[in-house]
Structure 1
């Protein structure tokens, strides 16, 4: 049996929300039983067991048949399903949506650094060591590393999200 997770499936889910009804399902998975047998296995009164079986019948998990017995007609309960799948609604958006933005090291917009400081590409130094004015050298956009003992570099990150998207 497969169900959709919706208001229509609430009764079925409620029927499964009882330890006694789970035990009834376990017993009926082994063999068909009448209310008397279930009552003895569960150590509960026949009226309580009958009430639980009715809830399982309403959820279409258990089926009850009437068959001739010693003293008239007896109700035999049997398990109607052997599998239950729950289909969750499709997500409208990814649970972990994200947006990546990478800025090269040399694409800062402001700085205030003090020696010891410097910049370098992967192949050569940019300017001279310990001279903060080289932090404005046009080649800084190719920097692969920068260092300073005191100060800051400031980056401005563009917000490229669409108007309909939120952070």
Structure 2
């Protein structure tokens, strides 16, 4: 077999955390030991290490994402694994921001809001499709069990508000702030002709309004539990963004809100509010989906984007 390993794998400061996390697990180090200079399949690794094959596959993926192993497909369509290099070189950060990725992401579970205002129809369900508390009871939104929410909804007007930390150190500027979430309108059961104006506010500034066309229930959500029988099944992945040029919804510029007007401070929370306002033309509420409900396996994601990094 030809040895495809490099002598030295060089990692910039922004990849240190990825490599450190990949090497922090004892099983992942044992996988590297078992492969050595050879090539092994996932099945062979599971047998050698005495570990279940799904567990090996998950850890292989972590090592692959860090660039420490490479994989290929064998003749029987099984994944074959090889170590990428003989040694690694980590470049230590020299200035603030060197150790950050181009896009730093914070994933917020939908039940971890800091404030809300809701009215019936309203409620929450967990990933199994079981209701949390009673439906159409706004008190549910203040129960500790809300942290388990995989779907939350309210009708008419209202909001949910989240506090995000700012991961950027002092003196490190970003080029874009993005928020993505899966959402739709809210109607009893579901309604495909139900429009609702859902607006994102960041630190009190209007980023833009997305007009949801429906409360989607015409098919099963890709992630939605089979036990869920209450109508709403999935939403639309929607992205708001703020740059130096304004506020955007799904790539369309809608407001004059810029990064400078948000007043971002490294030691202050970033206040994110998803709202159907009293002044909205279409006041048909909101469904908000978590990572285990609907069509998309993600919670609310706030991304801090730099188009270039100091090492480039």
TM-score (norm 2): 0.27
Greater share of residues in strand: 2
Q: Compare CA radii of gyration and give the structure with the larger one.
A: 1
Greater share of residues in helix: 1
